[in-house]
């Protein structure tokens, strides 16, 4: 399977949709286009890429689609295509986390630049997300006691303080602590603190 990301184009106007599709292919991008938000939702899955989306569409609007994707936990970057008089909608879209917008008539070179940025953003978000998943999996492998120790360590408590709090020996705390560091694959206390912010939030 090729891992080249896909530019998903959603526009309810067939002519405009085809024009965008064709133009992006000329730039060597991999493109899939959809005539409606609904058809995109049923086909997209979780594939990497970015979304080029018309703000105004029949049926589910661009903003509605953005909301649904957000509710599904998708972090696919969105570039909105806006027309004349769409400023309020655009502001709303950006507040809701759209990465970018381009105005109609769309300048091709501008669109391509924005798309490449959005694809990079998607990659960044994905690797961050993959990292978070990985950390949560490691955390799952810790025992209840080890998790307690991890929490207290990352709160800045010393081994002695933890020992007193948990009514165990400092020696045992040290053992737990070492196990936590190996299982979590943390090379320093700072790294462990970062990981704690992922799993303990």
Partner 1 sequence: MTASGIPPTLTPLAAADVITRLESLLGCCDAPETLRTQLRQLIAEARASMDHPPRRSAGPAQDTLEPPGAQPSAPCGQQLRALPATRLAQCAGRHTAGALIAVLPHELSQPLAAIAMYSNVASALLQSGTLAPDALADVMDRIQGQVKRAAEILARLRELVRSDGAEPSSTDLCQTLAEAVALIRPLAAHKQVQLFVDFPAEPVRLQVSKTVIGQIVLHLLFNSIEAIEQAGTAQRRVRLSVHPEPMGVQVTVQDSGPGIRPEDAERIFKAFESDKSAGCGLGLAISRALIEPLGGHLWVDPRVTDGATLHLRLPRSAHTEADQ
Nearer to partner 1, 60 or 76 (CB): 60
Work out which of 13, 32, 75, 148 binds partner 1, going by CB under 8 A: 13
Nearer to partner 1, 56 or 70 (CB): 56
CA pair distance 173, 7, nearest whole angstrom: 51
# binding residues, partner 1 (CB under 8 A): 22
Work out which of 32, 39, 68, 108 binds partner 1, going by CB under 8 A: 108
Q: 179-187, long-range: CB within 8 Å, 24+ apart, which pairs?
A: 179/142, 179/146, 180/142, 180/146, 180/149, 180/150, 180/153, 183/138, 183/141, 183/142, 183/146, 184/135, 184/138, 184/139, 184/142, 184/150, 185/138
User: What is the C-alpha radius of gyration for the chain, rounded to an integer number of angstroms?
Assistant: 23
16 binds partner 1 (CB under 8 A): yes
Work out which of 4, 18, 136, 155 binds partner 1, going by CB under 8 A: 18
Work out which of 23, 74, 172, 175 binds partner 1, going by CB under 8 A: 23
x/- contact string, 52-91, with partner 1 (CB under 8 A)? Answer: ----xxxx-x---------------------x--------
H-run or E-run covering 86: none
44 contacts 33 by C-beta, under 8 angstroms: no
Positions that interact with partner 1 (CB under 8 A):
12-13, 15-16, 18-20, 22-23, 26, 56-59, 61, 83, 104-109
């Amino acid at each position: 399977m090729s891992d080249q990301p896909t530019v998903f184009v959603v526009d309810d106007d067939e002519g405009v949709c085809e024009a965008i599709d064709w133009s992006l292919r000329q730039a060597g991008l991999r493109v899939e286009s959809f005539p409606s938000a609904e058809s995109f939702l049923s086909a997209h899955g979780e594939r990497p890429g970015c979304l080029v989306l018309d703000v105004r569409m029949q049926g589910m609007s661009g903003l509605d689609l953005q909301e649904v994707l957000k509710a599904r936990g998708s972090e696919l970057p969105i570039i909105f295509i806006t027309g004349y008089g769409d400023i309020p909608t655009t502001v709303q879209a950006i507040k809701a986390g759209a990465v970018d917008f381009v105005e109609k008539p769309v300048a091709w070179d501008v669109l391509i630049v924005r798309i490449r940025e959005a694809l990079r953003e998607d990659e960044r978000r994905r690797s961050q997300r993959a990292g978070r998943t990985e950390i949560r999996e490691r955390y799952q492998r810790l025992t209840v006691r080890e998790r307690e120790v991890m929490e207290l360590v990352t709160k800045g408590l010393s081994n002695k303080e933890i020992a007193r709090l948990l009514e165990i020996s400092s020696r045992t705390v040290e053992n737990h602590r070492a196990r936590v560091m190996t299982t979590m694959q943390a090379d320093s206390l700072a790294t462990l603190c970062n990981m704690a912010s992922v799993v303990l939030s």
